[in-house]
Amino acid sequence: MKILHVCSQWRSIALNAPVLWTNLSLLRRQVSSPKHVPHVVDWFTRAQPLPVDVHVQSRQHPEFRFDHRPEDAIVRGLLASSGYSVHPASQIREIYVFADPRDFVNIVHGLPNNAFAQLRRLEIECDYSNIVIDQLVDQPITAFRDCPQLSHVSLMGLWCLTREPLSFLLPLPWSQLTYLRLSRCNYTHRVIDILTQCTDLQRADLEGTIHHRGAEASDVVRVIDHWSLASLEVTTATDEWPADLFRIVRYPMLHELTLAFQTWGYAWGRDTEWDLVCQAVPQFPALSKFTLRGVYTRFAEADIMNLLVALPPTLQSIRFDNCLLQTELFVHFRVDDDNACLPSLNTLIFSNINFEESSTWDGALLEEELCGMVESRVCYDKVERLRTFEVTFSPSEKWVLGPSACERLRSLEGLEYPTTSSGPRTYLDKGFGNHLHLDTQVCVRAKAELMDLSAPIHCLPPELMVDIFRYHTLEAISSAMRIVHGPIDDSGDVRPASQVRKLFVNGYPADMASMFDGLPEDAFPRLQSLSITESCSYEVDEQLAEQTISAFKRCPLLTDVTIQMMYRLTRESLSSWLPLPWSQVTTLRLEGCLASHRIVDVLLQCKSLWLAVIQGTISGGEGLPVAPGYIDLPRLHYLEVQFDELQWPTNLFRVLRYPAVERLTLHFRSDHYLWAWGIQRQDLLLAAPQFPALWKLTLRGADIHSDEDDLMAFLAALPRTMRFLRFIECLIWPALFERIRVDDGVAPALPNLTELVFTDIEVREADLLEAGEVDPEGKLCRMVKSRVRSDKVECLRAFEFSYRAEQRLAPDTYRKLRSLEGLEVRLPKDK
């Protein structure tokens, strides 16, 4: 969490709101030095009296790196914190650690048994790719032994640290756990040893459990009942069935069972494994929900049905998830006078499945068998009526149910059949809300099945994404056009184009032009956001669009527009080829080598523009009328200009003036872009007065190697409102620090600057040695000190500096900067 650019009142509110500090995610760079410990302890202090959830090197963090492990000594010192008023370990409610197994041992080494008094959830994930198996742990890790509130435990990869049982290595209050996950190659006899101690366990996930033929548990004859377990998921990573897990332990209260196989190489009928699976059936007398995941049946549907039929009569729900099946499975599920299997089944789900095709594979036969099976289970009175049925195919599957089969299933009275259950996951589905993503491959497969989309589109304006791939046929393009054009039902009531709120189209330019050709000007009355991007990187000059695309001309709600690489379609101006209600657009992004005079033509029409991002801009003024004076864009507040070529887009700053722009970003794509190469000083000085209200300037990717004079002349020409200056990913010369420094007898530059940031900066050591530079950071300190203490300029209040590589400022430099009164020195964002 960062508290920046806020008044002291809001800052005080944030610092005194404990609920804001109850979640702490730490990366390696944040626990890499002892100086970081006080900052983390302050975090715990602000959270008091509430507990804190801590994630150390979380894999879900956007800046996570596998090669960055937490510094074990620093984290251990943090958890101990004997020199502070708070003890973070005693305040932690949930802790997640991703580390090398040995690092984890070092982190918790030496902590007392009751170190985590409030701990409720413990998750340890070990990356043992570089572990040395000979480095075993002899002493148990006792830091979590006395945790009276601990109920949720997930342990992944700790098996490689010891040859002793896991319960010996990590003694926990097993008897009070309600959830347990053990992952990565845990021998079944060790798992059983733990399960027998978890007397209150309600759910268990066991992954990578294998059989150890020399284990002591294999000789146990007495069956152990586990009375509390209600949900069990077993994932096998090998072809060896964990027989002892079901031979020695019985689960009389288990209601939900999932058997998952990580690879499709597991064949159910191979060797004697089928007999071992059948032996597990009597261990689940109360089972009501059964899931098979990742199964490759390989003509073993009869064996699967024998397993299902052998399950107790309490079984009500069966789910096949991510399986490769044969059509014969539907035949075995069908019920009649001779076969009334699974009498209590009321829910049957096939999710994300594939079918193994052969020379005799027939899609029509599959539809008939599937529909016949469902009809028999709905209508036959000797078994429980099927109430819920769902079938979804893998996105890679080239086949979907036809419209007649879908209608046949929907006509069954009392059956809950999801509207889009027959289509691939790219259709509007439960997990996607109102987001619809279509590509031309889906359009070809769907054909008349587009009726399925009518109901969701009626409910809420969707976000429509259409990907047009060049390798598809004209049939695919026409199918995509049919979706957009509508109607898709016989009554003509549903026109998808009129319901779309956000539209993203990606593909070959000529195909997109054909897709929207012929649509009326008011085809998208609800459209708020439009994004048109080109997916190909090569140019075909001879395939230019001859007609104007007018489908978006009358969109009264359109405010957000993104256009990329569409200059290839026409030699005319973009605004004439794609007429939009430019005057109402507030957010505009143009990308892809558009000559600046074409951009100016568009910007002149955007009277309400608030944010503009211009990428790939090059110079060019052909056909641009010479304006008698500057033309103002009165509402534009944010402007970002990115350069792909070594040319300054003069027209952007010669014709237009930006009186309200407060934030400006100049992004140079090439690291070798020199300010004096392709840019004349007069061009820079001409652009500076165009931003009279500018207060934040960001320079990204610039090489300011030896051209500080031109840069400082540009900065000096900026208005006195400039308060924030940031350099990102730039190559700079230490002389720049001297130019920004405030000296006696010299007119100061940027007199109102209050915040200065250098992010991912590169200063080449070879260049420093060649120039005789021995103390570049000394110049940095003197520059900051002068801007903090001089009475000729506004006092510098915030400063940040980070190198591009792993290099960091010297500790002495940080000490000097932090000693400056009134200056906030931020920690760098190391990569």
pLDDT under 50: residue ranges of the chain: 60-68, 70, 213-220, 264-272, 359, 419-462, 467-483, 487-494, 537-542, 621-623, 625-628, 671-677, 830-831
CB neighbour burial string for 516-545, b if at least 16 within 10 angstroms, e if fewer: beebeeebbeebbbbbbbbbeeeeeeeeeb
The whole-number pLDDT of residue 569 equals 56
* pLDDT score of 59: 53
Indicate the residue among 177, 203, 238 that finishes a domain.
Answer: 177
The residue among 52, 184, 73 whose CA lies nearest residue 121 is 52
CA-CA distance, 109 to 91, in Å (whole number)? 18
Q: Six-digit token pair at 43?
A: 């975090």
**pLDDT on residue 643:** 72
Answer yes or no: is 82 within a domain: yes
326 inside domain: no
In 3D space, the residue among 419, 437, 417 whose CA is nearest the CA of residue 427 turns out to be: 437
Closest by CA position to 509, among listed 473, 474, 476, 468: 468
**pLDDT for the residue numbered 436:** 43
* Boundary of a domain, candidates 126, 145, 177: 177
Supply 499's token pair.
């319901």
Contacts of 79 (CB under 8 A, 6+ apart): 88, 89, 107, 108, 111, 115
- Between CA 689 and CA 694, with CA 690 as vertex, the angle to 5 degrees is 85
- Report pLDDT digits (tens) over 275-300: 677 778 888 999 999 998 887 766 56
Asked whether residue 96 is assigned to any structural domain, the reply reads: yes
Dist CA 195 CA 12 (whole Å): 49
pLDDT for the residue numbered 65: 44
> What tokens were used for 209?
């459990």
Q: Which two tokens stand for residue 41?
A: 């302890």
DSSP-assigned beta bridge partners for residue 718: none
Distance CA 80, CA 231 (A): 37
Nearest to 205, CA basis, from 235, 171, 165: 235
Three-state SS for 490?
A: coil
Is 472 inside a domain boundary? yes
| HEC profile of 209-235 | CECCCCCHHHHCCCCEECCCCCEEEEE
Backbone angles phi, psi at 116, to 5 degrees: -110, 75
What is the tally of structural domains in the chain?
2
In a domain, 603, yes or no: no
Burial class from Cβ neighbours inside 10 Å (0-12, 13-18, 19+) for residue 464 reads buried
For residue 460, the model assigns a pLDDT of 34
CB pairs under 8 A, 24+ apart, for 714-719? 714/681, 714/684, 714/685, 714/687, 714/688, 715/749, 715/750, 716/749, 716/750, 717/684, 717/685, 717/688, 717/689, 718/688, 718/691, 718/694, 718/750, 719/689, 719/691, 719/692, 719/693, 719/694
The pLDDT of residue 18 is 87
Position 148 in a domain: yes
Which of 522, 557, 585 is where one domain is finished?
Answer: 585
Look at residue 98 and tell me if it is in a domain. Answer: yes
Count CB-CB contacts under 10 A for residue 590: 23
Q: Is 560 helix (H, G, I), strand (E, B) or coil?
A: strand
Q: How many CB atoms lie within 10 A of CB 82?
A: 6
Which conformational region is residue 676 in: left (phi greater than 0), alpha (psi within -120 to 50 degrees), or beta? alpha
C-alpha to C-alpha distance for 117 and 49, rounded to whole angstroms: 14
* DSSP E strand boundaries for 361-499: 388-393, 435-439, 463-468
Alpha carbons 495 and 484: distance in angstroms, whole number: 8
Domain of residue 578: give its range.
426-585
Q: Is residue 281 part of a domain?
A: no
pLDDT of residue 716: 85
Amino acid at 142: T
Chain length of the chain: 831
* 59 C-beta neighbours (distance < 10 Å), count: 12
Closest to 291 in 3D by CA, of 329, 321, 250, 330: 321
Residues near 537 by beta carbon (within 8 Å), at least 6 away in sequence? none
* In contact, 758 and 731? CB cutoff 8 Å: no
Whether 93 contacts 124, CB under 8 Å: no
Rounded distance between C-alpha atoms, residue 182 and residue 155, angstroms: 5
466-484 pLDDT per residue, tens? 544 333 334 444 444 444 5
Surface-to-core class of residue 497, CB atoms within 10 Å of its CB (0-12 exposed, 13-18 middle, 19+ buried): buried
- DSSP labels for 678-733? S--HHHHHHHGGG-TT--EEEEES-EESS-HHHHHHHHHHS-TT--EEEEES-EE-
Residue with tokens 């950071």: 777
